[in-house]
Structure 1
């Protein structure tokens, strides 16, 4: 059975569907014949996405929703259930980033990052699970990112949310082990070419950009399609995600120091910009596309040089770490 046969007529809820990976996923699911329920804070952008998905042949319901509002998330789940009498896949995808020295970034910003990135996903799972248990099946897909394993210096609130999110999802998988047809699936993409960094709260005073390799968000959207059709507990999107996870697992202290060193080096040469709270507290009206301006869309081979260099670097560092102990 092909993907279209498995997803045609399925009800798919996507949070954070107004831009980036969520928007890319909406287009991908629309082409698979899914019935889409699109959610985010930006109603104007959602309506734009919905119209484009309808042009692709999909039926679409738009439900403007703030994921930090637990009651609004319950209303979203109920709206999806009432629309088609079922919900097949719930994709927790809405997320934000705040960059800056921890003590120079307002605590209100750190708190809101955690509210969206962690509690937003918890609100989603809390809202949809009663429906899944009643109907006896369903899939939750959590877009966590490799940030669930690799800390981001100057992004402490973001890292706290992602590490905690991975722990929450693992606990939920264990809790639902007795429900054989309810799946919790985690996605760990590497850096994506989305508008997310453009939307980020930025207290560094420097223009931000992701470290290469930067992947096309359609890679993540395709992974969502595959996991929705064939649930899998953990999926790593892009070779760099596995490399970064392995590097931190083998040499956590060294990897953390190197990441911090890299970022401080970047800040020395990056262009200055004004401080901003981005889309942390309110939606924005710019950059509401699938792609940002940083990656190599449609050219996966462009990443190979970075992967090769990264593998060589990790191997060299591992060797350096082993040699001193071998001489004792």
Structure 2
């Protein structure tokens, strides 16, 4: 049976890749994001794949917007079977140098909007005794990294929220809550992020593709799982963070400065935290071709990291 899938954050990166993936699997889609122009592009991509598509321009941080989105989906297709939430923004900078309004909006978008999506989706799923909610977390919901405090705080909060929702969902057979935790992904979000660090951010290696994350989401819609990690080193980083916290904290700063940001200087700006930038929206961010450069930078930094570790262990 054809499913109705609502996708929030469908205009770029993982969300756009997920829209294509679900379209290719024969689902009918309700696509939501802030930019009407970009949503129209994504709709055309999904229609070309054979999907029925409704687009609903939506800012997930606007009160009552998600209830309106759900009403539109029900009016068009009669039901909601899967809700995939991928909308997220980022801000780079030392905590005290990121404007309060920017930090608060990152948390509002990445955590509170996810909670609002869950509230609306689960209400409909419980009434129908069926449905799957798929939230997009991050490996940074299990570990930390400097210069991304708002994003880290939101993803840690989302990890706890998802766990609580999964516990409550046990009371309603047929209702599932899934959490997808990607590591570094080749999406435009790093260039689109707010920046008060003075250097452009980038995904540290190893980098995976948004299409791989999208497949994990579609697989969860078919066979729901509580949590799926997408990233070759996610487990290693989690073990290091938990088992060797002192060593982890010594290494993470130098490694973040070498592999998590570029040498390209940028003036302070808000990125897409408050408004979309359609010109920068795409599935891929163009980072994978730079993989060899990043590997060389990390390899050449061995002496720096080793020196920091030796100082720590003396």
Select which of 271, 280, 296 maps to 1:287: 280
Mapped contact 2:198–2:266 kept (Cα < 8 A): yes
Deviates more, 1:273-282 or 1:237-246: 237-246
Query: Partners in 2 of 1:283 and 1:18 — Cα distance?
Result: 10
Mapped contact 1:114–1:160 kept (Cα < 8 A): yes
- Report the Cα offset of residue 208 of structure 1: 1.7
Query: Partners in 1 of 2:235 and 2:261 — Cα distance?
Result: 29
- Report the Cα offset of residue 296 of structure 1: 5.8
- Report the Cα offset of residue 252 of structure 1: 2.8
1:199-222 superposed Cα distances (whole Å, 9 cap, x missing partner): 100101112211111111111011
| Mapped pair 1:45 → 2:69 | no
TM-score (norm 1): 0.86
Distance 1:246 1:43, change over 3 A: same
- Report the Cα offset of residue 77 of structure 1: 1.5
Distance 1:259 1:133, change over 3 A: same
SS in 2 for 1:226: helix
Select which of 48, 52, 57 maps to 1:55: 48
Distance 1:187 1:296, change over 3 A: farther
How many residues of Structure 1 are paired with residues of Structure 2 in the alignment? 299
| Mapped pair 1:214 → 2:207 | yes
Query: Partners in 2 of 1:166 and 1:107 — Cα distance?
Result: 23
RMSD, aligned α-carbons: 2.4
| Mapped pair 1:183 → 2:179 | no
Distance 1:296 1:228, change over 3 A: farther
| Mapped pair 1:260 → 2:238 | no
1:250-290 superposed Cα distances (whole Å, 9 cap, x missing partner): 22343233212223456997121211110001111222110
Structure 2 match to 1:245: 238
Query: Partners in 2 of 1:213 and 1:95 — Cα distance?
Result: 21
Q: Hey, which of these two has a bigger chunk of strand by percent?
A: 2
| Mapped pair 1:168 → 2:161 | yes
TM-score (norm 2): 0.90
SS in 2 for 1:12: strand
Query: Partners in 1 of 2:261 and 2:53 — Cα distance?
Result: 46
Distance 1:155 1:268, change over 3 A: closer
Unaligned runs of 5+ in 1: 1-7, 310-315
| Mapped pair 1:157 → 2:150 | yes
Unaligned runs of 5+ in 2: 300-305
